[in-house]
Amino acid sequence: NPETEKPWLKDFPKITVRDVVNAHEILRKHLNISSIYLIIGGSIGAFQALEWSIMFPERIQNMVFIASNASASSWNIAQNEAQRLAIMADPTYFGDDPKGGLNGLKAARAMALISYRNAETYNNTQKDGDVGLSGNYKAISYQQYQGEKLVKRYNAYSYICMSHLFDSHHIGRNRASVEQVLGTIKAKTLVIALDSDQLFPPEEQQFVAKHIPNARFETISTHFAHDGFLIESEQITSAVRRFLKNSAV
């Protein structure tokens, strides 16, 4: 904070996806890139790809939009708020230490993981026999491990900032209806859904594909729910190659 010369922490101003795109635009100009042949985004990255294609329609030639939506759903926002409540239940979050709120962040991470995956994922990968009363369940150790792993590379204040950015995602804000705004996109577009995604159900990608002119839609089969967009690289790569081959015609 230039006024206090201290880290912003919980007082950092709220930002939107459009702010992030404008920051990328500054970088694009600095690098002297005149046009973007292909922009690919998954999840929150797809928020940015979509906004960039709307804000600068002449600049993006091709877009691949994966496992995301045109505006944050009530389901998304409720999960984000639950995670924020977990962080803010940690009293150290309200201090002046950049490491504040880490126990809350561990809890938030454990909650988020459940939204990124599904019952099948956990039942297949964290399956136990009878451990009796020991409490040594794979699922418990996995959730704890992932929380410990995150707090080594992230902080609670950035996490809450990003969750508010997520909530703010709405391409129709101060423009027109979501359908009308999608209709302004000029980039050739491939929309990819993951059939087991609970965070961004496939019908949300179908909606996006329906309203972007001449968009292509593909569904990828995965057992990994939303995290499939990070794991199913071979299927996604094949879909993108088919798309680019057809776009070049």
Q: Which residues are catalytic?
A: 43, 197, 226
Distance (Å, rounded) from C-alpha 145 to C-alpha 248?
45
Amino acid (one-letter) located at 4: T
Contacts (Cβ under 8 Å, ≥6 apart) of 62: 37, 38, 39, 187, 188, 189, 190, 243, 244, 247
Q: What is the dihedral of CA 219, 229, 68, 33, to 10 degrees?
A: -110
Contact in structure between 64 and 49 (CB atoms under 8 Å): yes
**Which of 102, 143, 247 has its CA nearest to residue 186?**
247
Asked whether 49 and 65 are in contact (CB, 8 A), the reply is yes
Partners of 220 in the β-ladder: 194
CB-CB contact of 94 with 224 (8 Å): no
- 193 vs 210: CA distance, rounded Å: 13
